[in-house]
Amino acid sequence: MSRASRRPVSTPCAADFSSSGSICPTAASASAIGAIIAAREGTDGRAGGPFRDLFEFCERIDKRIVNRRVVEALVRAGAFDSIDPDRARVLASVGIALEAADQRERAASQVSLFGETDAAALLRPDLVPAQPWDERQRLTEEKAALGFYLSGHPFRQYRAELAHFIGTTLDALQPRNEPVLLAGMVASTRTQMTRRGKMAIVMLDDGAAQVEVSVYNELFEAHRDILKEDRPLVIQGKVAKDEFTGGLRVVADKLMDMRAARERFARQLRLSMNGEASATRLRQLLEPYRNGTCPVAVRYFNGTATCEVRLGEDWCVTPEDGLIDTLSDWLKPENVEFVYA
């Protein structure tokens, strides 16, 4: 049996080594941190000072200690944000920056017959173009580097929608006689064997607190495909006081991903469009998700009048995140919403 207690979620300050900020110890080893601080403060025998860009950083640090893996972890964690906030572009450029730094070192140590260094080797390349990360990707990369989300929480994009049918946050959870609906991101999942078979212990995280939830064998086997780390999860279950620990004991009765939760609770998907929106483009975006259970309504505004038209049953959609993302990119997020009773 899982003995769950609410764990508050704290967000540490962003790492920043461009001036006087500290570097998170989970992003690099203590020796790498020391080498970066020494380069910045000038205690390594060089001039010191803030790092102006990725290329200068790679030239000044001791690459025997601060290797490519460390630099990439720092980029993912956001340590370069004050230098260049485009983490995707900076991460894609780490390799060429380290190579350029090596070339400059070789050029500086080799003098030509005329007493001049190789000017071509001293030229810095441009940063590698890369598709900028959206918030979801940025947070995923942060967690990969640090083990936790730093600049935000992925549950934030679902919070307002889920509030239509989720009545409590995890930090306000109390024992109840009747089943309660909970929601959060799957922070981790572990399994253990019981007399009834394999069960899962799911750590649910909504950005305010974390709660362990017991998922017994039958339910676990039926829904193990949605118990994925960093995925949103809606749970209907029982919350009781754990007499042994004094905390909470949460046992799941039902599990739903966002698609299943929308299918159960949403009345319709409403799209707001103006006179410039293309009906042909709408058909193209809805087509891969047709024959679902969620009706689609189009609210049309032409500047002087507004009307709402509900599409036919053959245009009911499967309410997956992929559909919402593509529609939001086209119509803007504020024009794509689920309507709940």
Q: What is the pLDDT along the chain (341 residues), one digit of tens a residue?
A: 444 556 665 444 434 554 444 444 444 478 888 999 999 998 877 778 999 999 999 999 999 999 999 999 999 999 999 999 999 999 999 999 999 998 888 877 765 544 555 545 567 889 999 999 999 899 999 999 988 899 999 999 999 999 999 999 999 999 999 999 999 999 999 999 988 889 999 999 999 999 999 999 999 999 999 999 999 999 999 999 988 887 889 999 999 999 999 999 999 999 999 876 788 999 999 999 999 999 999 999 877 888 999 999 999 999 999 999 999 999 999 999 999 98
Q: What letter would DSSP give residue 207? A: S
CA distance linking residue 261 with residue 165, whole number of Å: 9
Query: What does the DSSP assignment read for 116-136?
Result: ---HHHHPPPPPPP-PPP-HH
Q: Are 51 and 61 in contact (CB under 8 A)?
A: no
| Nearest alpha carbon to residue 93 among 68, 132, 60, 128 | 128
To the question of pTM greater than 0.85 for the whole model, the response is no
Domain with CATH 2.40.50.140 in the chain: 156-256
- In angstroms, the CA 149 to CA 160 distance is 20
Range list of β-strands (E), 124-228: 180-194, 197-205, 209-215
Residue 95 has φ and ψ, to the nearest 5°, of -60, -50
Contact 175, 239 (CB under 8 A): yes
* C-alpha dihedral, 278 to 315 to 270 to 186, nearest 10°: -110
Pick from 310, 22, 58, 9: nearest CA to 169: 9
What are the residues whose beta carbons fall under 8 Å from the beta carbon of 314, sequence distance 6 or more? 290, 291
pLDDT in the model for residue 15: 44
Q: CA distances (Å), 98 to each of 54, 60, 93, in order?
A: 9, 11, 9
Q: Are 269 and 296 in contact (CB under 8 A)?
A: yes
Q: Assess contact for 230 and 143: CB atoms under 8 A.
A: yes
CATH of 156-256, one of 2.40.50.140, 3.20.20.70, 1.10.3080.10, 3.90.1150.10: 2.40.50.140
Helix (H) or strand (E) holding 14: none
